[in-house]
């Protein structure tokens, strides 16, 4: 083989080897970039799903705002407890009844924001007024329940009712 041919052959062999190495590096880089792109697309899809869930949740919160307000009004919150008790006493006064709150007991706090306020009270007066007052307590527009009711005739037209009822409170 002639020396020029040898040089061309060696040069071609070196050029071919370098080309193979460069081609291998290019293929490796393309594969690495492809893997990065797949993980980036996955991350973007997760972010889009999170954003859609957040928008959906915000929409649901806006749609149910009035309903939640109505439901929350069915529970006695901390700010309204004193007013509620005053209203009970004032209503009894309007019916010409003697009233006395015997005990108040708030149930133990649990993980949920609702507690039961147990009210034990007595009212004394005419039977018809006592009956109307008890009916009003049963119709309180709050989540409530009459637990115990004892009515007795004290003397003549004077009746006494001892009422124990619970009102669910929202302590947030």
Which residue range forms the structural domain that includes residue 163? 76-170
Clarify whether residues 96 and 140 are in a common domain. Answer: yes
Clarify whether residues 160 and 86 are in a common domain. Answer: yes
Tell me, yes or no, whether 70 lies in a domain: no
Predicted local distance difference test score (pLDDT) of residue 171: 65
Please write the tens of the pLDDT for every residue from 58-105: 999 898 888 877 777 777 676 777 788 888 899 999 999 999 999 988
- Cα torsion angle, 40, 42, 45, 47, sign: negative
Tell me, yes or no, whether 118 lies in a domain: yes
Clarify whether residues 163 and 82 are in a common domain. Answer: yes
Tell me, yes or no, whether 119 lies in a domain: yes
CATH at residue 119: 3.30.70.60
Distance between CA atoms of residues 50 and 44, nearest Å: 10
Q: Global pTM? A: 0.59
- The answer to whether 112 and 148 are in contact (CB under 8 A) is no
H or E, element range at 139: none
Please write the tens of the pLDDT for every residue from 19-42: 998 898 988 888 888 888 888 898
């Amino acid at each position: 083989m002639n020396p020029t041919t040898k040089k061309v052959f060696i040069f071609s062999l070196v050029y071919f080897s370098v080309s193979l190495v460069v081609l291998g590096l290019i293929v490796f880089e393309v594969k690495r970039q492809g893997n990065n792109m797949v993980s980036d697309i996955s991350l973007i899809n997760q972010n889009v799903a999170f954003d859609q869930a957040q928008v959906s949740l915000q929409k649901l919160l806006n749609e149910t705002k009035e309903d939640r307000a109505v439901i929350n009004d069915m529970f006695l919150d901390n700010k309204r407890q004193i007013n509620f008790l005053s209203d009970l006493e004032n209503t009894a006064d309007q019916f010409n009844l003697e009233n006395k709150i015997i005990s108040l007991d708030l149930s133990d706090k649990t993980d949920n924001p609702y507690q039961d306020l147990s009210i034990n009270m007595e009212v004394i007066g005419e039977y018809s007024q006592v009956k109307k007052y008890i009916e009003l307590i049963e119709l309180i527009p709050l989540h409530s329940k009459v637990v115990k009711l004892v009515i007795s005739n004290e003397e003549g037209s004077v009746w006494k009712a001892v009422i124990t009822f619970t009102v669910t409170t929202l302590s947030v």
